[in-house]
């Protein structure tokens, strides 16, 4: 199975041994960040630093003239990825024999929420989620589509992986998160992720819902949850809390909004890309889910993109709905965390990869070559050699 290792430009630039080290794992591809959210990351082998603090969401290359005069535009990186950091790293990785694909984070941007608060998801209580741009807003959608095309199609890249191309909501590892005091469950997460910005309020109206009444219904449905009542049960749990009719209407609005954004972004990437450029989405087969792995309709997304990257750490069951589409040539990449300190299990990677293959996986993704310890990388190397 073809394997690709995720990597940041700052893992490579300034470390002449990094490209060969990644290639020696047995991976044929590097999925290299070109547009990324704020983070604090270890670089355990870099000769010049051990911790990189990316203070805000940024593009890791010089943005082009398409953004001139626009209020919403990507921010350049600071000293953590100066200049064309992506291009420098891509050239080094290519020279080591690795095929480079871009890794593009889209609807996850805290700086946008801070500087343009009107762009953020607003919950039923009026709280803004500055890390989560609302994908229903026309200006935000235009920004995301253009960013997808620009950040995906970088010189030397053979394909792209688009992350967070859909709704973002409450479940996000924000700085020093302290939101675990009440277990919301799947249904509670959905209700707390519903957006009530002006665009969404209008959208609910087009589906027969009064936005004010809907917000009140969400708050009423969540009141027992705050007191400890369960809110799990998947979509049936949402229907139980909110009522079937209201729940269905919210889905009609949100599903259509996400689907059309995915269509527009993939079309924009294809229009900008050379022939044979591969387009994958980080995806969850449950359409109403929010987050980095955007909720999608498996049949729909595999009719647009060349495949999906699916989270499989802890179990590969999310692959099955994509495999059931029986789409010839589709890439179904099983994404495994291989950093022990982040909950990964590199020692069982070979076994886990075989299990994923039985469920339909055609490729592997390894998160994350730059963050992993030497021991973790040794385990990855042994696992890939045995596949």
* Residue 28 within any structural domain of the chain: yes
pLDDT along the chain (387 residues), means of 10: 97 98 98 97 97 97 97 98 98 98 97 97 97 98 98 98 97 73 90 97 98 98 92 92 97 98 98 98 97 97 98 97 98 98 96 98 98 97 96
282's tokens: 């980080």
Q: How much is the pLDDT for 172?
A: 73
Determine whether 100 is exposed, middle or buried from the number of CB atoms within 10 Å of its CB (0-12, 13-18, 19+).
buried
Judge whether 275 lies within some domain: yes
Residue corresponding to tokens 């959208």: 203
Strands 278-284 and 29-36: unpaired
pLDDT of residue 252: 98
Is 86 among the domain residues? Answer: yes
The pLDDT of residue 179 is: 73
Query: Which CA distances in Å does 180 have to 109, 130, 170, 189, 226?
Result: 22, 19, 11, 12, 12
Residue 250 forms part of a structural domain: no
Residue 369 lies in a domain: yes
By residue count, the chain amounts to 387
List alpha helices for 18-168, DSSP H. 18-23, 85-95, 110-115, 138-152
**Cα separation, 162 vs 151, whole angstroms:** 10
Model pLDDT, residue 279: 98
Residue-by-residue DSSP string for 154-214:
-TT--EEEEES-S---S----TT---TTS--HHHHHHHHH---SHHHHHHHHHTT--HHHH
Give the DSSP H or E segment for 244: helix 244-272
- Kindly give the pairing relationship between strand 331-337 and strand 363-367: parallel
Residue 159 phi, psi (nearest 5): 180, 180
Buried b / exposed e over 269-304, threshold 16 CB at 10 Å, is: bbeebeeebbbbbbbbbbbbbbbbbbbbbbebbbeb
Domain at 65, CATH number: 3.20.20.80
pLDDT at 209: 98
What local confidence, expressed as pLDDT, does residue 290 receive?
96
240 inside domain:
no
The pLDDT of residue 237: 94
pLDDT confidence of residue 377: 98
CA distance 41 to 20: 21
DSSP 76: B
DSSP code of 275? T
Instruction: Please tell me the predicted confidence (pLDDT) of residue 384.
Output: 98
The answer to whether position 198 is within a domain reads no
Structural domain containing residue 51: 2-180+261-385
Characterize the bridge pairing of strands 128-133 and 120-122: antiparallel
Asked whether the CA dihedral 222, 224, 230, 233 is positive or negative, the reply is negative
Rounded-to-integer distance, Cα 228 and Cα 195, Å: 23
Instruction: Give domain status of residue 191, yes or no.
Output: no
| Angstrom distance (rounded) from CA 137 to CA 229 | 34
Number of domains making up the chain: 1
Q: Which of 149, 108, 102, 148 is nearest to 129 (CA)?
A: 108
CA pair distance 321, 69, nearest whole angstrom: 43
**198-206 helix and 211-226 helix, angle to the nearest 10 degrees:** 100
């Amino acid at each position: 199975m073809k394997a690709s290792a995720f990597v940041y430009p700052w893992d490579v630039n300034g470390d002449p041994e990094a490209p060969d080290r990644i290639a020696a794992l047995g991976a044929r591809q590097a999925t290299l960040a070109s547009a990324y959210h704020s983070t604090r990351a270890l670089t355990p082998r870099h000769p010049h630093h051990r911790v990189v603090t990316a203070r805000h969401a940024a593009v890791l290359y010089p943005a082009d003239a398409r953004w001139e005069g626009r209020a919403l535009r990507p921010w350049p990186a600071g000293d953590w990825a100066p200049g064309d950091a992506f291009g420098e790293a891509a050239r080094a990785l290519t020279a080591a024999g690795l095929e480079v694909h871009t890794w593009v984070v889209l609807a996850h941007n805290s700086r946008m929420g801070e500087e343009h608060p009107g762009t953020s998801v607003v919950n039923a209580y009026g709280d803004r989620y500055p890390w989560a741009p609302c994908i229903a807003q026309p200006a935000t959608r235009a920004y995301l589509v253009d960013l997808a095309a620009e950040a995906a199609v970088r010189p030397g890249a053979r394909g792209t992986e688009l992350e967070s191309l859909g709704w973002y909501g409450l479940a996000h590892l924000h700085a020093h998160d302290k939101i675990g005091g009440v277990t919301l469950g799947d249904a509670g997460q959905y209700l707390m992720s519903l957006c009530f910005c002006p665009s969404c309020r209008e959208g609910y109206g087009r589906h027969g819902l009064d936005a004010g009444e809907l917000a009140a219904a969400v708050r009423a449905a969540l009141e027992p949850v705050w007191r400890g009542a369960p809110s799990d049960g998947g979509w049936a749990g949402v229907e139980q809390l909110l009522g079937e009719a209201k729940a269905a209407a919210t889905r009609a609005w949100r599903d259509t909004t996400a689907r059309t954004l995915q269509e527009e972004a993939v079309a924009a990437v294809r229009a900008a890309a050379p022939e044979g450029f591969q387009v994958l989405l980080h995806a969850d087969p449950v359409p109403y889910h929010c987050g980095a792995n955007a909720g999608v309709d498996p049949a729909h997304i595999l009719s647009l993109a060349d495949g999906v990257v699916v989270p499989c750490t802890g179990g590969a069951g999310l692959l099955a709905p994509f495999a059931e589409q029986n789409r010839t040539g589709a890439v179904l990449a099983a994404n495994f965390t291989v950093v022990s300190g982040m909950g990964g299990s590199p020692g069982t990677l070979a076994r886990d990869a075989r299990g994923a293959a039985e469920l339909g996986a055609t490729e592997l993704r390894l998160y994350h070559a730059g963050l992993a310890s030497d021991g973790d990388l040794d385990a990855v190397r042994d696992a890939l050699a045995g596949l």
